[in-house]
Amino acid sequence: MKIKPFKLERYYTLHEHTAKYSLCNSDCEAMTIADLLSLEKGAKEAFDNTWLGYTHTQGSPELRNDISTIYSKIKPDYLTVCTGAQEPIFLFSHAVLDSEDEVIVQTPCYQSLQSVPESIGCKVLNWNVHYEGNTPCFDIGALKKLISNKTKVIYLNAPHNPTGFLFTKDEQKAIIELARINNIIIFCDEVYRELEHKSSFAIPAFADAYENGVSVGVMSKAYGLPGLRIGWLAARNQEIIEKIAILKEYTTICNAGPSEFLAGVALRNRHTILDKNLKIIQNNLPLYDAFFAKYADLFSWYKPNAGPIAFVKMHFDTDDMIFAEQALKEKGILILPGGIYDFNGYFRIGFGRRKIPEALEQFEAFVLENLVAK
């Protein structure tokens, strides 16, 4: 298999653990094992007694039961638990696609959604964002024009990385209708789901809303537990679940038992965790509001309805990759340049972490020195 280097993950591998301040993380604030176990009576003792044998390939029945409570039509058997969200993206694409297939990908995107189908030899068509003022939009008419009789899968990401865009319920219905009449699978990466800033913004999971829908979820983002490396794929189509199990026996075979146990504790207490993370987001958003109002001639942003990330437009003539490199070099601040998504003139910010106020202060100092003083 020949696959392009994953630009975003390369960037994080190089800088995530050395940058002094991070302004662009897509995960919410993490917690310790001790804090997580304290959320449930008896959990610590049960964790200490976790058996370190092989686990179920599809994920433990108990954990699949906990995951199914997030959905309305997904039963435990419709789920496969995987390593993070990256593994289900990889496994699904290899399980379902052939080189003659065409796929449509909502772009810009988390690169594996595009690069894995490309590496299989599929023709990949991009359903591109367009901006109306500061607002990202995805035109359903444009999506319709990309569909052909070879289209096998539409890859979506809702809420969307990097723009922060989330479909309305009506837009979701229209996309599903298009897929249904053309017999297309919708694969939706929903790693930021359940982090809607108001509950009225929430839309159903695509695996619930569409009989040929596949949803990917993960502990990493909304729940802030990426170190567990627990994600899953939900599909009512049993053929997909079966094909993925067969492939998974070549990748990770089964998941880490301690992680499965801890993910179960987190999911049974997910509303406590989500409330904590939404509070952090609600504390950070006004700081960005004030910042972008103050520097409106330099930057503009779309304040999302969901998730912990947004995409910021730069209104000055500097390459985003160079701008990010300079912020890192001069002040140790990590921002994620649009070039990483092949979408120049923007950078990604995050607001799910507790240290955002400190990082934003440093970023302001950097802006004052480099953009305002000049």
Ligand X SMILES: Cc1ncc(COP(=O)(O)O)c(C=O)c1O
Query: Residue from 58, 161, 255, 284 that binds ligand X (CB under 6 A)?
Result: 161
The residue behind tokens 């007694």 is 49
Report, in Å, the least distance between residue 20 CB and ligand X: 21
Query: Residue from 102, 189, 196, 260 that binds ligand X (CB under 6 A)?
Result: 189
CB under 6 A: which stretch of 163-171, 218-226, 279-287, 315-323 binds ligand X?
218-226
Q: Is residue 11 close enough to count as binding ligand X by CB under 6 A?
A: no
Handedness of CA 337, 7, 168, 283 (dihedral sign): negative
DSSP structural state of residue 271: H
Query: 216 to each of 15, 103, 221, 233, how far by Cα in Å?
Result: 27, 17, 12, 5
Site mask for ligand X (CB under 6 A), range 114-153, x = bound: ----------------------------------------
CB-based closest residue to ligand X: 84
Which residues face 130 on adjacent strands?
Answer: 137
Q: Is residue 190 close enough to count as binding ligand X by CB under 6 A?
A: no
Q: How far apart are the first and last CA of the chain?
A: 48
* Binding residue count for ligand X, defined by CB under 6 A: 13
CB under 6 A: which stretch of 82-90, 197-205, 249-257, 342-350 binds ligand X?
82-90
Report, in Å, the least distance between residue 58 CB and ligand X: 18
Query: If you write DSSP's letter for every residue of 45-78 in order, what string do you get?
Result: HHHHT---S---TT--HHHHHHHHTT-SS--GGG
DSSP structural state of residue 369: I
Residues whose CB falls within 8 Å of the CB of residue 180, separated by 6 or more in sequence, listed in order:
210, 212
Q: Is residue 157 close enough to count as binding ligand X by CB under 6 A?
A: yes
Query: Residue from 31, 85, 222, 225 that binds ligand X (CB under 6 A)?
Result: 85
Report, in Å, the least distance between residue 309 CB and ligand X: 8
Q: What is Dmax (Cα atoms) for the chain?
A: 62
Residues making contact with ligand X (CB under 6 A)? 26, 84-86, 110, 157, 161, 189, 191, 218, 220, 226, 231
